Amino acid sequence: TMLDSLFQQTYSGGKLLPPGGVADRMLPAIRGEFRVDVREHENDVIIVADLPGVEKEDVSLQLISPRALEVACERKGEKEDQSEGYYMRERVYGSMHRVVTLPADVTEDASSASFTNGVLEVRLKKIRGAQKSRIQIE
């Protein structure tokens, strides 16, 4: 029967929803995680994070070392959806936190951050040669 087939899919590790759909986007958020992309661009390291259902005021950023950025946020709010006779109200609360390892040493100086439609973009300046210094042999 269909119920048996769903049961088997669920317990044999099969996904009920196809990959790349809403489930892939929503499950990490439900578990308190979020997707982060990190890339290098000339003198910058760019971090892009998907923070669905989060307001700008509820996001905090902290450079905890030249190679690690902490992104933390609080989600609180209600979402209503009314279409074709269906009515749904969702309450989403909770905090998400992640320490992102960076590919190069960076500094907060001249850094910038923007937050648009639930997408956070942080640009941090690379430190040029700060870690390299010659040791004189006596």
pLDDT band for 30, please (50, 70, 90 cuts).
very low
Which residue type, as a one-letter code, is found at position 72? A
Which run of H or E residues covers position 34? none
Task: Give the lowest-confidence range in 52-61, 79-88, 121-130.
Answer: 79-88
At residue 6, the pLDDT reads 52
Taking residues 64-92, what's their average pLDDT? 73
At residue 132, the pLDDT reads 54
At residue 4, the pLDDT reads 52
Which run of H or E residues covers position 2? helix 2-11
Sheet architecture: strand order including 59-65: 59-65, 68-83, 86-101
Is the pLDDT score of 11 beyond 60? no
pLDDT band for 9, please (50, 70, 90 cuts).
very low
- In angstroms, the CA 68 to CA 107 distance is 10
DSSP conformation letters of 4-46: HHHHHHHHTT--SS-TTSHHHHHHHHHTT---EEEEEETTEEE
- In angstroms, the CA 112 to CA 120 distance is 11
At residue 15, the pLDDT reads 46
- In angstroms, the CA 77 to CA 20 distance is 26
pLDDT band for 55, please (50, 70, 90 cuts).
confident
60 neighbors 73 (Cβ within 8 angstroms): yes
Token pair of 61 as six digits:
């950023």
- How far, in whole angstroms, is CA 69 from its chain's centroid? 12
pTM of the model as a whole: 0.61
Which residue type, as a one-letter code, is found at position 74? E
At residue 113, the pLDDT reads 95
Taking residues 17-41, what's their average pLDDT? 63
- In angstroms, the CA 97 to CA 29 distance is 11
